[in-house]
Structure formats: structure tokens, C-alpha cells
Amino acid sequence: MYVCLCKSVTDKQIRRAAARGVDNLYELRENLGVASGCGKCASMAQSILDESNASHAQPTMYVPSSA
């Protein structure tokens, strides 16, 4: 779906940017132009970016210490 109509940016493009390491709206704006026009897409773009980055996070391994 289109997230930013001004720059014709889709949710898939945002997810791909997140997979490449983009982790904040400033970097997303620099890479794709999101939220650089009218700005109405900023909150949706941020939500997709946050969701994508959460799914790419590495799981933390729990190693119990000896008592």
C-alpha cells in the first residue's frame, strides 16, 4: 500500500529500508523522501519502521548464572 502519496513510497519500500538498517524517520526521509512533502505520512511511516525493526531484532539468549 502507498504510505507517502507525495513521494509514491510504499510500505514494502519502508520495510526494505528497515532491513538495510534504516532505524529512524530522519534516515527514512533521507533515503526515500518520506514525510518531506505534506508530512501526513510521518506517523504511519514511523509505525511501519518500528514494526519492521522489531521483527528484525536479534533474540536475546538467556544464560542463567550459577548460584
Output the average pLDDT for the chain: 89
What is the CATH number for 34? Answer: 1.10.10.1100
pLDDT tens per residue across span 10-36: 999 999 999 999 999 999 999 999 999
Residue 31 covered by a domain: yes
Residue 63 covered by a domain: no
**pTM of this structure:** 0.80
Residue 27 covered by a domain: yes
Residue 29 covered by a domain: yes
Q: Which DSSP string do the residues of 9-48 spell out, in sequence order?
A: EEHHHHHHHHHTT--SHHHHHHHH-TTSSS-TTHHHHHHH
Q: State which residues form the domain around 52.
A: 2-56
State the Cα–Cα distance between residues 43 and 45, nearest whole angstrom.
Answer: 5
**Number of domains observed in the structure of the chain:** 1
